[in-house]
Structure 1
Amino acid sequence: MTQEMLVQEERNRQVAAAVLIGLAASANAMSASQTERGTYTTPSGRTGTFYSPTAAVIAQNNAAIQNEAMISATIETGEGNMAMLEQAAIKDSTLMPSESYGGQLHLAPPTDQAGAAKTYTIVITVGTDRHVVEVSQAPAGGIIAE
């Protein structure tokens, strides 16, 4: 996967997370706005409703704290994911002589082997260096690289 594809995938994930967190925060706030109201029944059978301003303040403050924690955690996760992608990227302006670099290789599980393991060889040539990677991949997603 190219760096651009990985970054776009992360941005899409962040947008989806933001929408879901927004919905969760709205539902949390709505739920908190209803907790101060209630009904009662007296021993003689009369019923009624009540409103508790103290319960309203407590519920709304709790919801605000929970919403802030959800939003902060989502932002922190997104920033961490983007930082990890940035660290894994190699740029021609950042690679100096004797520095090393790495990357990610994502392998899809085998689908055409009727449940059998799949074995293949990946050959990577960088300049005059030839790197051979033997891969054995099981249907359960277990990957063994040698």
Structure 2
Amino acid sequence: MLIILASLALLTAQEQHPQPASPPAGRPLVIHEADVMVRQPPPHRGEGMSTAYRISDSAPNRAMEFRKRVLHPGASIGVHPIAHDEVYYVISGTGELTADGVVTPMTTGDAAYLYDGNVVGIRQTGEVDLILIIAYPLAERAR
């Protein structure tokens, strides 16, 4: 009985703290957004002006992109095809997502899950900046 209870405890502990799939590809890293901030035109022939926080660019050997993008009034990320799944998450403000020709309003707390092959873009609307988190996997680890 004691062996069964010990085995159950071990299985429960393993479920709560699963082993990683592989060894870590690097050491944990804290990135301060003020250190990676740059004002620039939005990507993909977008309009207006934006502030980019290219957070993951500071992480060596990374397997994903993680960015914060502020689209100032009137700005947009141009419509473009994507070659990976991607998430746009609205931190604050309002905008219009275009995905495969369909325009959908987005606001604080909304997330758009976009798929490999979709043609997407987003435009700021309203009086205040549209602040987004954008994340997607890389085809291979960045060195």
TM-score, scaled to structure 1: 0.24
Higher RCO structure (Cα 8 Å, ≥6 apart):
2
TM-score, scaled to structure 2: 0.24
Q: Specify which structure has the higher proportion of strand.
A: 2
Larger gyration radius, structure 1 or structure 2: 1
